[in-house]
């Protein structure tokens, strides 16, 4: 089971706002990402990579994903690969991507709370996925990667969310599957809740000592009120 932070006295922690990461937290998108990377590599003549290796590259923004997958910082090659990936991923980002088990119930359970999304995934990918999975009506604000906002672990996405929704940092929680989520939350003064079911290494995530940690998404319903 997950755990509750020792510093908190009540088992059910009162919050106003849940801020979710996307990939590895709300949705299982790793197969579509890996397939699109390998379609790209096949097209431009690079050797394909094992899916498990590509999964490790998810979470730091799409350009860094391509840099890591290519294994080079050659700007011309990265730009060409990124442009090719964009076409493939836009065509395939909903082939196999689905909500993680229990997420629909969690969102319905917290329908009277403010709910936000803060993701390093580019905004145009995020918008297409949110629309395709019928999630837009459940979220008060959705922030994806764009040229005018810094990616997590910088706290800008979270700070912007708090400002727009008029919620104090201590009354929110950042829920995510990566160290980027934890570090952004800490910098913004927001409690962090790690998830073991996502793309991140659960042992590494636990060692970072987030305020909360869950094994399954439905634990959120007994952790927060």
DSSP secondary-structure letter at 13?
A: B
Q: Are residues 153 and 204 in the same domain?
A: yes
Question: Is there a domain that residue 173 lies in?
Answer: yes
Distance CA 63, CA 147 (A): 12
- What interhelical angle do 179-188 and 156-165 show, nearest 10? 50
Query: Could you say which of 71, 92, 113 is where a domain stops?
Result: 92
Q: What is the pLDDT of residue 90?
A: 97
Complete edge-to-edge strand list for the sheet that includes strand 141-145: 141-145, 114-122, 17-20, 172-176, 192-195, 212-214
- pLDDT tens, 3-48? 554 344 346 899 999 999 999 999 999 999 999 999 999 999 999 9
Query: Could you say which of 43, 63, 92 is where a domain stops?
Result: 92
Q: Are residues 87 and 160 in the same domain?
A: no
Q: Are residues 87 and 154 in the same domain?
A: no
Q: What is the pLDDT of residue 12?
A: 82
Q: Are residues 69 and 34 in the same domain?
A: yes
Alpha-carbon distance values, 131 to 27, 54, 97 (Å): 13, 25, 13
Once rounded to an integer, what is the mean pLDDT over residues 170-176? 98
3-state DSSP assignment of residue 137: helix
Q: What is the pLDDT of residue 73?
A: 86
Work out how many domains the chain is built from and give that number: 2
Q: What is the pLDDT of residue 138?
A: 96
- First and final CA of the chain: distance in angstroms? 18
Taking phi over 0 as left and psi of -120 to 50 as alpha, with beta for the rest, 172 belongs to beta
Query: Could you say which of 44, 76, 92 is where a domain stops?
Result: 92
Whether 28 is catalytic = no
- Quote the percentage of the chain above a pLDDT of 90: 93
Question: Is there a domain that residue 1 lies in?
Answer: no
pLDDT for 2 beyond 60: no
Nearest Cα residue to 78 out of 55, 56, 90, 62 = 62
- The confidence band for 146, taking pLDDT boundaries of 50, 70 and 90, is very high
Question: Is there a domain that residue 2 lies in?
Answer: no
- pLDDT tens, 196-214? 999 999 999 999 999 999 9
Separation of CA 63 from chain center: 16
| Half-sphere exposure at residue 109, Cβ-oriented, CA atoms within 13 angstroms | 15
Other Cβ atoms less than 10 A from the Cβ of 218: the count is 15
Q: What is the pLDDT of residue 7?
A: 40
- The confidence band for 191, taking pLDDT boundaries of 50, 70 and 90, is very high
Check: CB of residue 111 under 8 Å from CB of residue 140.
Answer: no
Q: Are residues 75 and 124 in the same domain?
A: no
Set 10, 21, 74, 140: catalytic member: 21
**Residue 47 in tokens:** 């050797």
pLDDT for 84 beyond 90: yes
pLDDT for 132 beyond 80: yes
């Amino acid at each position: 089971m997950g755990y509750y932070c020792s510093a908190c006295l009540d088992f059910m922690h009162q919050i106003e706002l849940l801020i979710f990461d996307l990939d590895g937290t709300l949705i299982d998108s790793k197969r579509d990402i890996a397939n699109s990377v390998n379609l790209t590599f096949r097209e431009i003549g690079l050797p394909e990579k094992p899916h498990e290796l590509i999964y490790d590259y998810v979470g730091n923004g799409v350009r860094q994903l391509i840099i890591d997958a290519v294994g080079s910082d050659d700007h011309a090659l990265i730009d060409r690969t990124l442009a090719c990936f964009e076409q493939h991923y836009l065509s395939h980002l909903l082939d196999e991507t689905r909500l993680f088990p229990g997420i629909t119930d969690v969102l319905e359970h917290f329908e009277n709370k403010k709910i936000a999304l803060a993701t390093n995934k580019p905004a145009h990918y995020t918008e297409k996925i949110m629309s395709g999975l019928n999630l837009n009506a459940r979220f008060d604000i959705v922030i994806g990667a764009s040229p005018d906002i810094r990616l997590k672990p910088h706290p800008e996405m979270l700070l912007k969310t708090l400002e727009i929704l008029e919620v104090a940092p201590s009354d929110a929680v950042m829920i995510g599957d990566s160290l980027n989520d934890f570090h952004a939350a800490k910098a913004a003064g927001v409690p962090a809740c790690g998830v073991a079911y996502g793309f991140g290494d659960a042992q590494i995530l636990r060692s970072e000592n987030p305020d909360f940690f869950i094994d399954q998404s439905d634990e959120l319903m007994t952790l927060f009120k």
